[in-house]
Structures are given as C-alpha cells and as structure tokens.
Amino acid sequence: MDIIVCMKWTPDTSEADLTVDKEGKDIRKDDLDFDMNDWDRFAIEEAVQLKEKVGGKVTAVAVAPEDAEGMLRECLARGADEAYQLWDDAFEGSDGYAVAAILAKFIKDRPHDLVLTGTLADDDCGGQIGGMVAAMLDIPGSTLVSKIQISDGKLTCHRELEGGLYESIEMDLPAVLSVATGLNEPRFVSVRAVRKVAALEIPTLELGDLGLEASAVGSDGSRIRIELMELPPEGEGAEIITGKAEEAAAKLAEILKEKGGIGS
C-alpha cells in the first residue's frame, strides 16, 4: 500500500513573545523555532504503523522551505521510506488552497492508496488541506479520524464526535484522511535514529518539476488575502470575585451568562 503523508513545518509559539511584522500581515517569525506540526506527528506515526501491519511504502511530503529538511529527515527516522520537499520561491505566500493544489499535483503523479495529514496545523488552525486535497484529487476524505482499519482494500475509520460519540465510516481507497491527535502514541526519535537516515536523499521539487504554473501557486494562486494581523488588545484588568464560595460561584455564573460565556 502506498501511503503519502503531508507534513507542515510550523513555528513554536508556545513560549515566545509574539509580535506582528512591519506589513502588519503576519507575525514575526525570524526569532521563532520551527518544528513538525504536532498533528502531523500522529499522521506520520499512523502511516508507519499501517505499513508495519499491511506492508507498503510511506512517503512524507511538505511544502516548506529548505530549513524544514530536518523535519523530513525526522519523518525518515520515524519510518518513512522516502521524503520530498516541495519548494520554490514562487510558493511563498501560498494560502491553504494553493498549498493543497501543490500537494494534490505531487500526489496525483505517483501511486497513492492513502493520503494522511493532521486535521489542523498548530499555527493558523486552518484545517483546510485534507478536505481540499481530497476534492482536488476527486477521492473520498474525512477529518478528525481517530482510528483507521484497512482490510481487503476497504477502509474503515472512526471519527470522534462531540459528547463522546463515535462515527464509523467505510470508504473506498484511495482516500484522504486527516487524523486527530491521540489516535496513536508517536514513537520517540533519538539522535541515533536520525543519524541512521542521514545519508538518505530528500529531493526538492520545484515549480517546474511538479509541472505547475506560477499563477496557480503563491499569492496569485491563493484565495485568501490577509488584510491585517493584530495582537489582541490588552484587557482592562480582571475582576476578582470575593465572598463565600456559593455567592462567588453564583456571581461568576451570572457574569458568564451575561457575557455569553455559557448558554442561558
């Protein structure tokens, strides 16, 4: 079975002091550390585990600049058989739609039974890629997948719904699944594991290699235009509720209702 996993290279914003750049359309990223999107970590793990069960080949792919090579190498260390970096200066400024177009072109040109990706990315939380790639390839897809089973060329997957409900879906292969975090326990990648795959080549495919037109990628190929990015205005200070526990709780509930925090 040929499994292709789409990976994203995202900035780690958890411990950073964020600032908006000069144009006011993005955050400043030069001081940030980048890493594998956490959701995609589960996707690559699932792909490798499926391969270990049913055999086949795992290909990791990312639309990301040169610096992201470390992430793709980590995918190899995690058990992917090959990795591709898709990058061209023309890709700069691509939105989710354009990135999906690049990935779809890459996938279309090679054997694929299953395409996996994380449901969301840690940075912009767009959650678009899986669905768009499925549509562009004209194959079935699903999101927030929490379990995948494959037997006799049929795919069964579970989706986790609100309120602890599960939905079970059967579909034909090939398909695109966007996975939820927690569907497996991603393996640890040691320094030695990365070193073992140090000699493997990670080809970079550019616009021409993929057979794409410049107009289909970058900001020209994008459908979303960011007008302005701002840090949230500082709040006016917190209100400290005093008094006995019951009174304080009642007061808190009242405020939440009033401000729309909870339904009435």
Partner 1 sequence: MTIQEPANVALAGIPAPGLAFVILVAALCLFAYIMNRRIDLLRKAMPDPRFDDIGERIRLALVYGFGQWKQPRYLVGGIIHILLFAGFMILSLRSLTLIGRGFSAEFNLPGLTGSVGMAYEVLKDYAVLMVLVVCIVAIIRRAVFKPARYAHAPGQGHEAEAYVILGMVSALMLTDMIYDGSHLAATGHTDAGLLPAATVASLFMAGSSPAALNALHIGGYWAHILIFFGFLNYLPMSKHFHVITAIPNVFFANVDKGRIKPVRHGVDEWMDLDECGITRFESFTWKHVLDFYSCADCGRCTDNCPANAVGRSLSPRMISIKARDYAYKYYPVFGTAPDPGDIKFVGDVITESEIWACTTCGACENECPILIEYIDKIVDMRRYLVDQGQVPQSLQKPMQAIKKKGNAYGGAKGKRAAWTKELDGIEVKELKAGDATDLLFFVDSCGSFDPRIQELSRSLARILAKSSTDFGILGQDETDSGNEIRRLGEEGLFEQLAQKNIAAFQDRQFKEIVAFDPHAFNAIKNDYPERFPIVHASQVIDRLIKAGRIRLSSDYLAGRVVTYHDPCYLGRHNQIYYEPRQVIQAVPGVRFRDMERSFDRSFCCSGGGVMLWYESEEEKERMGERRVRMAEQIGAQVIVTGCPFCLINLEDAVKTTGNEGKIEVIDLVELVDRSLV
Under the binding rule (CB under 8 A), the answer on residue 78 touching partner 1 is yes
Going by C-alpha positions, the residue among 181, 203, 77 that lies closest to residue 119 is 181
Contact 58, 80 (CB under 8 A): yes
Query: With contact defined as beta carbons under 8 Å apart, do 120 and 126 qualify?
Result: yes
* Least distance from partner 1 to the Cβ atom of residue 29, Å: 14
Residue placing its CB nearer to partner 1 in the complex, 78 or 105: 78
Q: Which residues contact 196 (CB under 8 A, 6 or more apart)?
A: 77
Structure tokens that stand for 181 in this block? 């975090």
Asked if residue 189 binds partner 1 (CB under 8 A), the reply is yes
The helix (run of H) or strand (run of E) holding residue 130 is helix 129-137
Q: Residues 23 to 42: which contact partner 1 by CB under 8 A?
A: 31, 33, 35
CB of 17 to partner 1, least distance (A): 9
Sites for partner 1 among residues 193-232 (CB under 8 A):
193, 195
Minimum CB distance to partner 1 smaller for 57 or for 187: 187
As a whole number of Å, the CA-based R_g of the chain is 21
Q: Which range in 116-124, 143-151, 180-188, 232-240 contacts partner 1 by CB under 8 A? A: 180-188
Burial call 177-208: b when 16+ CB within 10 Å, e when fewer: bbbbbebbebeebeeebeeebeeeebeebebe
Cis peptide before 232 (omega within 30 of 0): no
Q: What mask of x and - would describe binding to partner 1 in positions 5 to 24, judged by CB under 8 A? A: -------x-xxx--------
Please give the distance of CA 65 from its chain centroid, rounded to a whole number. 16
Confirm or reject binding of residue 124 to partner 1 (CB under 8 A). no
- Nearer of residues 173 and 194 to partner 1, judged by Cβ: 194
Segment near partner 1 (CB under 8 A); pick from 125-133, 183-191, 206-214, 238-246: 183-191
> Total binding residues for partner 1 by CB under 8 A?
18
Residues that bind partner 1 (CB under 8 A): 12, 14-16, 31, 33, 35, 78, 185-193, 195
